[in-house]
Amino acid sequence: MPWFLVVRVLFVLAVTYATVLTRPFGPGVEVNILAGALLGVLIIAVETRMRSAEVTDLLGALIGGAIGLGLAKTIGAALFWANTGDNRVVFLHSFVLLVFPYLGLAMGARKGEWLEPARLVSLFRDAGPQKRYKILDTSVIIDGRIADICETGFMDGTLVIPQFVLKELQLVADSADSLKRNRGRRGLDILHKIQKMSGLDVLISDIDFPEIREVDLKLIELGRTLQGKIVTNDFNLNKVAQLRGVDVLNINELANSLKPVVLPGEFMKVFILKEGKEYNQGVAYLDDGTMVVVDNARRMISKNIDIVVTSVLQTTAGKMIFGRYIEGAPAVHPAAPAAPAVAPAVAVRAQNAK
């Protein structure tokens, strides 16, 4: 039998024994035993319900109840002149003694979240505009594009780099795997680059949540505490944070929104890098990494050619463009939005990034 069950049984027996000794419900032993057992079970039921309540709610209820009880005693003492022999005065004293503690308990439990440290600190802050926090996660630091976004001035507010993210980044940089080690060192270099940028507010946060082990959940809790936004390119973290009510800035979504709009029937110039999966296909990449699949272009590998766009496919991973190479086709019309050709080395890096 678990220890807490033993403690509860002993508590019920103790209350029952106390009612038998004092006989508050009459001289009958059976009635006092039954009443004592019912009181013990009722108290255990209340204790069971309280276990699922938040600590701040319980603390708020206790503080509110104590304040209500103090007000009731003060009002009762102020009515010393009233005739205590009058039943109406006795009822008034009892009513005040019940109402004010109850109101204090109810209001304290409902407003218990104001006892959280972040809420208490906000009471003493200036009424001016609050800082806008952007919390960086490990993946977006290693990715490196955040440095370019900050350099262009599009990232405002305060960039927050948590200590637990730095610790995870250091573990990656110290990994035995050379690929992971290079990625971790690149992330550290990106942080140094961001810190040296002028006009950018960077904050190393020491806030941690020891009871939470996963870094993603720590980031979500930090976002809720600071009322900031998480900057990431992690798809799963994006979805979980949105479910928890934390705003997310996804770098991949930003990159997809900045890709040029290409419509079927337009002409564009591309560099054919390799052959495609289907017969007589060639594959090219734009500067932003968008894959272009070109029919009838297998023999044009390592050449810049003009193609006509046949269709555009938008997927969760990004955008794919399908085109066709027409031999002897005219050059790209000057008014058409031609895509710049991609050098082989750039295209290979874009392919590896995929």
Separation in Å, CA 153 to CA 165, 266, 269: 24, 33, 31
**From its phi and psi, is residue 273 left (phi > 0), alpha (psi between -120 and 50) or beta?**
alpha
Residue 310: pLDDT band (50, 70, 90) is very high
DSSP 287: T
Looking at the predicted structure, is the pLDDT value of residue 353 above 50? no
124-167 residue pLDDT tens: 665 545 578 899 999 999 988 888 888 888 888 889 999 999 99
Exposed/middle/buried for residue 95 (C-beta within 10 Å: 0-12, 13-18, 19+): exposed
Residue 308: pLDDT band (50, 70, 90) is very high
Average pLDDT rounded to a whole number, residues 320-344: 59
- Number of Cβ within 10 Å of residue 165's Cβ equals 25
The domain over range 133-257 is classified in CATH as 3.40.50.2300: no
Average pLDDT rounded to a whole number, residues 21-28: 80
CA distance 240 to 246: 9
CA distance 10 to 232: 54
Alpha-carbon torsion angle 31, 35, 37, 41, nearest 10: 160
User: Which sequence spans correspond to the domains of the chain?
Assistant: 3-115, 133-257, 267-353
With both helix axes pointing from N to C terminus, report the angle between 163-173 and 215-226 in degrees, rounded to the nearest 10: 150
Q: What pLDDT sits at residue 336?
A: 40
Residue 333: pLDDT band (50, 70, 90) is very low
- Number of Cβ within 10 Å of residue 123's Cβ equals 7
CATH class of segment(s) 267-353: mainly beta
Average pLDDT rounded to a whole number, residues 320-348: 56
Q: Could you check whether 133-257 and 267-353 share the same CATH topology?
A: no
Strand order in the sheet with 201-205: 201-205, 158-162, 133-136, 229-232, 248-250
Q: What pLDDT sits at residue 315?
A: 67
Looking at the predicted structure, is the pLDDT value of residue 349 above 60? no
CA distance 95 to 89: 10
The mean predicted confidence, pLDDT, of the chain is: 80
Which residues are within 8 A (CB) of 130 and not within 5 positions of it... i.e. 6 or more apart?
Answer: 227
Q: What pTM was computed for the model?
A: 0.47
Separation in Å, CA 64 to CA 87, 118, 248: 29, 20, 37
Residue 271: pLDDT band (50, 70, 90) is very high
Exposed/middle/buried for residue 342 (C-beta within 10 Å: 0-12, 13-18, 19+): buried
Average pLDDT rounded to a whole number, residues 107-120: 71
Residue 299 in tokens? 């023999």
- Please report, rounded to a whole number, the percentage of residues in the chain having pLDDT higher than 70: 83
